[in-house]
Amino acid sequence: MVAIGVPMLIRADLGVAPFDVFNTGVSHATGWSLGVCFVVDAMIFFVLGSLLGVRPGWGSIVGTTAIGPMVNVVLAIIPKQHAMVPRLALLIGGSLILAVAVCLVVSTELGAGPTEVVMLGLMHRGMGIVPARWISDGTPLVVGTLLGGAIGPGTLLFALSMGPMVKFGLRRLHYEPRRHAPVGTDAAFGV
């Protein structure tokens, strides 16, 4: 599903997802291809998630290596759009597809994507779904923008709406994140 949602956002040409802002920014700064940047950037986020207490699973690695080529195939199928109505439809449809994909991948616990691992790490530390998602999307958005990444109004819409959509979807799937009690509290010591 991610390999469908990402190309839809790209063809909407109204702004890419925050992680792709980061990827395009790193590509702009280093001269590396987007594919290389995606893999390197994903590894950075997997390390951050691990530091927050959530390790990537086998699905994280398989997804990271498989999504890139599939995105290229779907991009070849979806034609470029010039009129605003189809571009808005692609933006909204792509965002909804990505929200569903995030919820399904997270709920399986087989290994989430790069920003989802960070989101789960923040949730693991006691943060709510929406603020955790805003931070996991906001960080690559800000850094990517500073590095010259591609950004548009659709990027901001995506970043602000993904947290509530993911919260809604995870609740419908009855997903309960594992959390650690804050350090220094009685609950942290099992009391």
DSSP track, 81-138: --SHHHHHHHHHHHHHHHHHHHHHHHHHTS---HHHHHHHHHHHTT--HHHHHHHHHH
Rounded Cα distance between 109 and 12, Å, is 31
Q: Which residues of the chain have pLDDT under 50?
A: 181-191
Query: How many Cα atoms are found within 13 Å in the side-chain-facing hemisphere of 42?
Result: 22
pLDDT at 191: 27
Is 117 inside a domain boundary? yes
pLDDT at 71: 83
pLDDT at 183: 40
Is 183 inside a domain boundary? no
Domain that holds residue 55: 2-178
Is 143 inside a domain boundary? yes
What's this model's pTM, rounded to 2 decimal places? 0.87
Is 109 inside a domain boundary? yes
Is 191 inside a domain boundary? no
Is 59 inside a domain boundary? yes
Distances (CA, A) of 34 to 37, 80, 96: 5, 19, 24
pLDDT at 188: 33
Token code pair at residue 18: 């925050």
Distances (CA, A) of 21 to 14, 41, 54, 121, 144: 12, 11, 24, 21, 5
Query: Domain tally for the chain?
Result: 1
Is 184 inside a domain boundary? no
pLDDT, tens digit (0-9, with 9 covering 90-100), for 22-54: 998 999 999 988 778 888 999 999 999 999 999
Is 134 inside a domain boundary? yes
Query: How many Cα atoms are found within 13 Å in the side-chain-facing hemisphere of 125?
Result: 15
Token code pair at residue 100: 């569903």
